[in-house]
Amino acid sequence: MISALLLAVLGPAAPAPPPAPGVSLALARHRSATISEVRYGVEFIVPETTAPVTGTVTVGFRLFKAEAVVLDFRAPPANIGTVRDASGHPIMAMVTEDHITIPASSLRAGANRITFDFTATDAALNRRGDYLYALFVPDRASTAFPCFDQPDLKARYRLTLTIPAAWRAVANGGMESSDSLTSTKRIRFRETAPISTYLFSFAAGRLFTEEADRDGRHFTMYHRETDSAKVARNKDAIFDLHAAAIRWLEDYTGIKYPFEKFDFFAIPAFQFGGMEHPGAVWYSAGALFLDQTATRNQLLGRASVISHETAHMWFGDLVTMRWFNDVWMKEVFANFMAGKIVGPSFPDINHDLRFFLANHPTAYGADRTMGTNPIRQPLDNLREAGQLYGAIIYPEGTDRDAPARTHHRRRCDAAGAARIPRRPQVRKRHLARLDLDSRPALS
């Protein structure tokens, strides 16, 4: 009775305001506290032409209580098709800038499953003629499919690709099956271990492959290099460097390589040196396929980038920052570990001097400017995360010179950064405690 009177006097409650564009820290905190056990069953249909990539994604998750849930999708409203619940019934979702809100009436406390038909944008699907690769770092998975696009909501992915019949494909998970259709084929990949949205990826196209076994592990390298002599000249060293880095890191951390497989794609004119997707690492082809006249510095550079991306399998992929304000931490660890890994293979090089010359001028040059900033910066919205990369977090953060190391350690302490203990069994327990799967909500 009282509720009815209040409703008559005050009127119906105003609808909740739509979420702000991007992924705000407040939205990320709320989702981290109320959503768990996320799984994506996602299918992309990749045409041979430059026509848009379309697909379907089923998002499974557990909800702490029945309330509206916001997913991220940075695409025009017309790119969302039907939204359905677990029984196949249509859902009247609210589509706003960068988001899709599922009403509380379509959800329940406990397990939920929502399916979306969509058309992906090309913002993170890099199309180069007869091949394509996805690059979702730091916040661009939601430009391709509806998801919870924040690093601490790790999920398991089961990917299906429908691609032209003559193409090959690589993804985080191993291939489960491949079915030939009239002019296409449908490839299903096994479900991944829990990973963040920015680490999910795939590539497809007219690709060549090289395979090798090292230390009982099978490696596959995908590439587009047409100079067979260059490939033959470099491939053994490339596989050896990966195997050596994994061997060193398993010994140092006391943790076996934490993912199903280790494949990688040497991409022509890739926009970065590398990207650490577990099971499907991307590299710039020029960094791997060296000329016969390669200098000692180029050889060391190749070993360094391979060691850096391999170190990320532990420092960044297995153990992941909750929020991108701590992106510096994974990069510092990867750079530091890479230096320790490659050093013994190049005993004739003064590594301390090389490290000094490679890092000090850039780091302190940036630190002396009016635009300098702390290594760990505030980040209120994930759409600004790309601005955190640069000379401050790479050269300065990784500087191992004694005075700089002390200065950096103070910054780490101020940021609450963890130190990795020296003994393997202690390191293993320490890394396990940092694993995001068991970490609380953002703070």
Predicted pLDDT of residue 370: 78
Predicted pLDDT of residue 303: 97
Residue 179 has pLDDT above 50, yes or no: yes
pTM over 0.85: yes
The rounded distance, in Å, linking the Cα atoms of 26 and 28 is 5
DSSP 8-state code for residue 121: -
Q: Of 56-70, 82-96, 326-340, 399-413, which range is least confident?
A: 399-413
Predicted pLDDT of residue 395: 60
Averaged over 102-123, what is the pLDDT?
98
Share of the chain above pLDDT 90, in %: 72
Q: Which of the two residues, 352 and 233, has the higher pLDDT score?
A: 233
Which fold is adopted by the domain 30-206? Immunoglobulin-like (2.60.40)
Predicted pLDDT of residue 394: 62
Instruction: Using the Cα atoms of residue 376, residue 377, residue 378 and residue 380 in order, give the sign of their dihedral.
Output: negative
> By the 8 A CB rule, do 186 and 178 touch?
yes
Q: Tell me the residue type at 51.
A: A
Predicted pLDDT of residue 434: 44
Active site positions, annotated: 309
Query: What is the three-class DSSP state of 39?
Result: strand
- Whole-angstrom CA distances from 42 to 96, 191, 346 are 22, 11, 44
Predicted pLDDT of residue 391: 65
Q: Which of the two residues, 73 and 12, has the higher pLDDT score?
A: 73
Predicted pLDDT of residue 10: 42
**Angle CA(248)–CA(284)–CA(311) in degrees, nearest 5?**
20
The rounded distance, in Å, linking the Cα atoms of 207 and 220 is 12
Predicted pLDDT of residue 406: 37
Which fold is adopted by the domain 324-438? Neutral Protease; domain 2 (1.10.390)
The rounded distance, in Å, linking the Cα atoms of 390 and 363 is 10
Phi, psi (degrees; rounded to nearest 5) at 82: -75, 140
In the block, which residue shows the tokens 């006097």?
A: 9
Listed by start position, the domains of the chain span: 30-206, 324-438
Structure tokens at 30: 């709320």
Averaged over 389-394, what is the pLDDT?
66
In the block, which residue shows the tokens 């601490």?
A: 152
Q: Where are the alpha helices (DSSP H) in 25-148?
A: 25-34
Q: What is the pLDDT of residues 288-326, one digit of tens each?
A: 999 999 999 999 999 999 999 999 999 999 999 999 999
DSSP 8-state code for residue 395: I
Question: Please, what is the end-to-end C-alpha distance for the chain in angstroms?
Answer: 41
Predicted pLDDT of residue 397: 52
Highest mean pLDDT, choosing among 219-228, 356-365, 410-419: 219-228
Residue 407 has pLDDT above 80, yes or no: no
Averaged over 395-408, what is the pLDDT?
43
Q: Of 35-49, 176-190, 202-216, 428-442, which range is least confident?
A: 428-442
* Count of other CB atoms within 10 angstroms of residue 163: 22
Residue 80 has pLDDT above 60, yes or no: yes
Predicted pLDDT of residue 430: 45
pLDDT grade for 439, boundaries at 50, 70 and 90: very low
Q: Which of 394, 302, 361, 331 is nearest to 353 (CA)?
A: 361
Q: Which of the two residues, 413 and 274, has the higher pLDDT score?
A: 274
Q: Which of 211, 197, 87 is nearest to 149 (CA)?
A: 197
The rounded distance, in Å, linking the Cα atoms of 305 and 342 is 10
249, with CB counted inside 10 A (0-12, 13-18, 19+), is buried
- Tell me the helix, strand and coil percentages in the chain, rounded to 5: 35, 25, 40
- Whole-angstrom CA distances from 67 to 30, 71, 112, 256 are 12, 13, 12, 40
> By the 8 A CB rule, do 102 and 61 touch?
no
Averaged over 198-223, what is the pLDDT?
98
The rounded distance, in Å, linking the Cα atoms of 330 and 398 is 10
Averaged over 125-132, what is the pLDDT?
96
> By the 8 A CB rule, do 154 and 144 touch?
no
Q: Which of the two residues, 90 and 376, has the higher pLDDT score?
A: 90
Residue 190 has pLDDT above 90, yes or no: yes
> By the 8 A CB rule, do 88 and 36 touch?
no
pLDDT grade for 341, boundaries at 50, 70 and 90: very high
